[in-house]
């Protein structure tokens, strides 16, 4: 393996600028500040579930000796050995197929992709094998497997490393699709995913791995688990509903703080799950606020926001006092240049403007064009 300037290169020939050096010790789970990074949350969930069930094992590129491209699997190979933390060749189609076969046999694989952009190599196994086998076997074969890794845009990595796959996987029957935002989400949802009898696509965000969130004592409990398919109201409000997931939840919360200064009380919903989608919570919120803004990093056409809009039109159209506003990434491949990349991704100010339009606090976008 090559080394450049003291940093070990990943299997793909690059290393992320957002990684902590491998020699650094991560923050203790029991710190007095009661905070935990998303990376620590994922690591602790894997550790505890592998300790509790010997059928659970981790596989992927550099998850063992290198302790993960993003250090999520730090210390796991040393604890569980190379038979349960398996370094694989650079062949997503190969090791994903092995993982699905292991799940058929009754094991519980956790397959890590260095990025979900590379999971496109394994779509046949994820969709045609994992997602459909329970149905095609009349319920006789369960496929308890988790596909996890970073999803969506990072920073300056170009179009082939910056796609959000939430809508892709969310459209496929047989899969469950989870999108954690906070450390609580990451820990509780990953535990639920590993315990689930069905295939779960677990879409993390590279830029959130090192972000620390306050967590309650309940989250540190080894039995802590978040139900799949249940959204969380991160901030209650009465004037406009904002739905978002992954990194966009943080952007939506910042937007809500700005809106509050102008007298707009925004309710922010962290979806947590794309499939199943918590339509009940979303519709109940819109029936209270009478307005909706959807936020996502992915492409606008056939997106998660489009599905949410359809749900509201079907179930709560009569409660709307304004047109639904959709905030999404630009309908272009992700630019590499930093200034263009920022323009292609939703920003806090975009959410603020959309919420103000929904509340008739500004001119419609068409009027200002």
Question: What is the per-residue pLDDT across 186-244, written as a single tens digit (0 to 9) for each?
Answer: 999 999 999 999 999 999 999 999 999 999 999 999 999 999 999 999 999 999 999 99
Backbone angles phi, psi at 311, to 5 degrees: -60, -40
pLDDT, mean of residues 166-170: 97
Residues belonging to the active site: 92, 161
Q: Please report which helix (H) or strand (E) contains residue 168, including its range.
A: helix 166-170
The SS3 call for residue 335 is coil
Q: What is the mean pLDDT of residues 55-84?
A: 96
pLDDT at residue number 8: 34
Class of residue 363 by CB neighbours under 10 A (exposed 0-12, middle 13-18, buried 19+): exposed
The whole-number pLDDT of residue 287 equals 98
How is residue 207 written in tokens? 């830029």
Q: What is the mean pLDDT of residues 133-155?
A: 95
Between CA 154 and CA 174 the distance in angstroms is 28
Question: Would the pLDDT of 301 be above 50?
Answer: yes
pLDDT score for 362: 72
Lowest mean pLDDT segment, chosen from 22-31, 49-58, 118-127: 22-31
| Per-residue pLDDT at 48 exceeds 60 | yes
pLDDT at 120: 95
Average pLDDT over residues 14-24: 37
Does the structure show a pLDDT above 50 at 26?
Answer: no
- At 292, the pLDDT band (50, 70, 90 cuts) reads very high
Position 21 pLDDT exceeds 60: no
Note the pTM of the prediction, 2 decimals.
0.88
Per-residue confidence band for 35, with pLDDT thresholds at 50, 70 and 90: very high
Mean pLDDT of 279-292: 98
Determine the Cα–Cα distance for residues 244 and 228; give it in Å rounded to an integer: 16
* pLDDT category of residue 367 using cuts at 50, 70 and 90: low
Say whether the peptide bond before residue 276 is cis (omega within 30 degrees of 0): yes
What burial letters (b/e) apply to 2-30, b meaning 16+ CB within 10 Å? Answer: eeeeeeeebbeeeebeebeeeeeebeebe
- H or E element, residue 48: helix 38-52
Rounded to whole angstroms, the Cα distance separating 276 from 369 reads: 37
Report d(CA 281, CA 41) in Å as an integer. Answer: 26
Residue 103 burial by Cβ neighbours in a 10 Å radius (0-12, 13-18, 19+): buried
User: For the ranges 20-34, 98-112, 266-280, 310-324, which has the lowest average pLDDT?
Assistant: 20-34
Q: What is the mean pLDDT of the chain?
A: 90
364 Rama sector, left if φ>0, alpha if ψ -120 to 50, beta otherwise:
beta
- How far apart are alpha carbons 142 and 198 in whole angstroms? 6
Cβ contacts of 31 within 8 Å, gap of 6 or more: none
């Amino acid at each position: 393996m090559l080394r450049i300037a003291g940093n070990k290169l990943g299997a793909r020939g690059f290393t992320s600028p957002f990684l902590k050096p491998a020699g650094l010790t991560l923050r203790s789970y029991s710190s007095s500040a009661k905070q935990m990074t998303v990376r620590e949350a994922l690591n602790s969930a894997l550790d505890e579930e592998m300790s509790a069930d010997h059928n659970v094992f981790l596989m992927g590129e550099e998850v063992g000796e290198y302790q993960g491209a993003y250090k999520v699997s730090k210390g796991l190979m040393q604890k569980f050995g190379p038979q349960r933390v398996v370094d694989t060749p650079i062949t997503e189609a190969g090791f994903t197929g092995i993982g699905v076969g292991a799940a058929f046999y009754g094991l519980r694989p956790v397959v890590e992709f260095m990025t979900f952009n590379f999971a496109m190599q394994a779509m046949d196994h994820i969709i045609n094998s994992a997602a459909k086998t329970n149905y095609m076997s009349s319920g006789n074969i369960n496929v308890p497997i988790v596909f996890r890794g970073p999803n969506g845009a990072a920073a300056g990595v170009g179009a082939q490393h910056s796609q959000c796959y939430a809508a892709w996987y969310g459209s496929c029957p047989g899969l469950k699709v989870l999108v954690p935002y906070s450390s609580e989400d990451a820990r509780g949802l990953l535990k639920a995913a590993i315990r689930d009898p069905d295939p779960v696509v677990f879409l993390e965000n590279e830029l959130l791995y090192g972000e620390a969130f306050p967590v309650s004592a309940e989250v540190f409990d080894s039995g802590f688990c978040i139900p799949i398919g249940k959204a969380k109201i991160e901030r209650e409000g009465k004037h406009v509903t904002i739905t978002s997931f992954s990194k966009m939840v943080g952007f939506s919360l910042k937007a809500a703080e700005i809106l509050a200064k102008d007298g707009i009380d925004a309710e922010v919903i962290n979806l947590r799950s794309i499939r199943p989608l918590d339509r009940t919570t979303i519709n109940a919120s819109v029936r209270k606020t009478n307005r909706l803004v959807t936020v996502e990093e992915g492409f606008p056409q056939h997106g998660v926001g489009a599905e949410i809009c359809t749900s509201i039109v079907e179930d709560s159209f009569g409660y709307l006092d304004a047109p639904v506003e959709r905030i999404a990434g630009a309908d272009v491949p992700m630019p590499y240049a930093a200034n263009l990349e920022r323009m292609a991704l939703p920003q806090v100010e975009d959410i603020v403007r959309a919420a103000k339009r929904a509340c008739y606090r500004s001119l419609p976008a068409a009027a200002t064009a």
